[in-house]
Structure 1
């Protein structure tokens, strides 16, 4: 049930979004890479906001910032709310930051109303989700979830600075990273609010939605080989055009994806050889990325896609070769938490909609620690990782209210809801 007495301050969220966005390298958008002076400046702002909201603040040895709002029973398990503070290069203002600022806002509202729930709440600003600087994602959330690897400390950025070195420059003790890990017995669950980074909510005319899961990804490199020839002398009927065969296959990939919604499939990179305007393409190298929360469905579609490639290549007298580059498992949100989010959305007069996240989030790493749930907030035209990224004040306010009402349900009314876990 929504608590109408606890009012979210949407203008405060918007103001803080702008303030945090100013902590950036000079760029059209926001560039705030982990462990840089820009990142530390942003973290200082977040620390101030946490303190102003009645939280005690700590920074762990992976440079995650955690604000704790004590419960009426301090020994009760904590509910975690988080997202990341780093950005891509020339990114937007809302990706990650909205989740952290919304978490601070709901604690701010509780503090202003002299309200303490039974369980403590911790707001986490994760240090590195994007993986831009060290090319290794979810560094902070893996540390808190207890899955961080010692070997990761040796990875280096383009200037040759290791992750361990960057952390030491901040006065931290990276080789004591185990101290960041939380005990699952002391955690009630994890919530993350994030912009959708897609166009579905806007198309449906809804301010926010419920994430059912985060898609697993299969990524492949492929090569289709034909025979290069003179563009002016070889009849079309006699050609072994690798690019024409690839084009036919890409259309088939699109058809199969449309028939198996919500699966998504993308041919994102193509290299045509020899790449001359007067030569028939003799070889095409490319990448294929396929994502879904349903592993069986994804595997069946992948089989169909590769079967189509073989048939097209046999018909056109081409050869097809494929290699797997990456495989990540899907992460499903907890049924009990999604039910609480759905109830909070209904209580705020909004039609509930369930969405699959095709992008990765810190929640994926946190699922190794505890039960997870996610709320998506509408963003304009689904644009993200771009300076044009935008969410309205009203939508941010509604999203934060749904987050607050979800927390109240989980802590006050429906603690039994967390007993059910999706396998």
Structure 2
């Protein structure tokens, strides 16, 4: 079988399970989700997996291993952002199913069980939460999420129950880490590194830690036409110098990302000097020490700029998520298989959060990235080559052959 062509066919077919919008819009616990699950169920059954929907809405395809052996988990999410693409998330489900089918075609007997997981909600678009499926398996699911509502006022718990899940039972799904070999996720890179290096595949070293900070500069307002330029206490000027300094510092630090994503001004009128500028600073890095060190550097630079500008400065961390390192043995298995197929294995970190980040609370994790055209993601412009997907199926199957039946 041409595994890449089959992957493209399946992804084209399931892209039609969408609201009538540009691109793909498939939200959890909707008719579009149900239609997608019908197709995914068929993929799983064709791979020889026994299929069921778990209490958290995850579609699970299982093939038991020899008695007493642990289970290797694979998969990703079926949902999309609004007006998203055909590859983010769902490609990882399709390729995992094809890898199992590839092994079955070779009558390969693995020394462990396999499950392919199609999680219901990773994006957090319909409800103000995300990663419910993997968090249920990891035992980290907050029961309070079931009271969250969507735009129509529908409770998440009610939507899950109506879909065939069970909000109460979802809190009892935690797997035994001793019985779980690991979790593998295949995903488009969502960036340009692989394409720039002309490489089809990359092995992820870890998922970046994230922190978000609220930054505030406060000065003094005045009439734009009467206050002299010299001596102004302009909060926006100070903030702009801070933004530029943070950007330049991040450019000098490999693998670190720093982004000012929002900016609010007061009084925010055309003819007055801003006396307050509030902004957000998000920092991502694969090493938590690099992230926290950069935050300290940004805080010191903000204080220096404020003092020189005659304004005050505050910077408070509002959110933090630790980095998730990928398992060395799982990485090694993927890298060895990738090198055999494409000549060398590119190692890179993930700046985006994935289902893998929540599964890391349960078991060792690893990710295989595929190049995507122009790094486009969360957009109808998403595109991955059929031949690259075919390579990923072969690499994933070969990596599974090389794994031992013991925790890694």
- TM superposition score category, shorter chain reference: over 0.9
Q: Pick closer, same or farther for the CA change 1:299–1:313 going to 2, 3 Å.
A: same
Match in the other structure for 2:26: 32
8 Å Cα contact 1:269-1:287 kept in structure 2: yes
Q: Pick closer, same or farther for the CA change 1:357–1:34 going to 2, 3 Å.
A: same
Structure 2 residue 73 is matched with structure 1 residue 94: no
2:246 to 249, 253, 260: 253
Shift in Å, 1:181 = 2.4
Match in the other structure for 2:119: 126
Alignment of 1:68-87 (within 5 A): 68-71=62-65, 73-87=66-80
CA distance in structure 2 between the partners assigned to 1:346 and 1:158 by the alignment:
47
Match in the other structure for 1:227: 220
Shift in Å, 1:221 = 1.3
Structure 2 residue 61 is matched with structure 1 residue 67: yes
Match in the other structure for 2:99: 106
1:9 to 3, 8, 12: 3
8 Å Cα contact 1:218-1:328 kept in structure 2: yes
CA distance in structure 1 between the partners assigned to 2:276 and 2:172 by the alignment:
52
CA distance in structure 1 between the partners assigned to 2:365 and 2:296 by the alignment:
31
CA distance in structure 2 between the partners assigned to 1:184 and 1:10 by the alignment:
33
Structure 2 residue 175 is matched with structure 1 residue 182: yes
Deviations 1:50-97 (A, max 9, x none): 1122111011011100111343x2442111101001111111111101
> Which structure 2 segments of 5+ residues have no match?
none
Secondary structure of the residue aligned to 2:348 is strand
Shift in Å, 1:321 = 1.8
Match in the other structure for 1:43: 37
Structure 2 residue 283 is matched with structure 1 residue 290: yes
1:140 to 133, 139, 143: 133
Deviations 1:222-259 (A, max 9, x none): 21112222223333222222212111111110122122
Following superposition, which runs of at least 4 residues in structure 1 exceed 6 angstroms of deviation?
A: none
Q: What's the C-alpha RMSD, in Å, of the aligned pairs?
A: 1.6
Match in the other structure for 1:406: 399
1:377 to 370, 374, 381: 370
Tell me the TM-score normalised to structure 1 length.
0.93
CA distance in structure 2 between the partners assigned to 1:178 and 1:311 by the alignment:
49
Shift in Å, 1:151 = 2.0
Match in the other structure for 1:359: 352
Structure 2 residue 193 is matched with structure 1 residue 200: yes
> Which structure 1 segments of 5+ residues have no match?
1-6
CA distance in structure 1 between the partners assigned to 2:105 and 2:189 by the alignment:
29
CA distance in structure 1 between the partners assigned to 2:309 and 2:172 by the alignment:
59
CA distance in structure 2 between the partners assigned to 1:100 and 1:406 by the alignment:
17
Match in the other structure for 1:3: none
Match in the other structure for 2:159: 166
How many pairs align?
A: 408
CA distance in structure 2 between the partners assigned to 1:390 and 1:193 by the alignment:
15
CA distance in structure 2 between the partners assigned to 1:197 and 1:349 by the alignment:
20
Deviations 1:303-332 (A, max 9, x none): 110110111011010111222211111111
Secondary structure of the residue aligned to 1:90 is coil
Structure 2 residue 297 is matched with structure 1 residue 308: no
CA distance in structure 1 between the partners assigned to 2:278 and 2:171 by the alignment:
42
8 Å Cα contact 1:206-1:350 kept in structure 2: no
Secondary structure of the residue aligned to 2:402 is helix
CA distance in structure 2 between the partners assigned to 1:376 and 1:118 by the alignment:
25
Alignment of 1:263-274 (within 5 A): 263-274=256-267
Alignment of 1:15-26 (within 5 A): 15-26=9-20
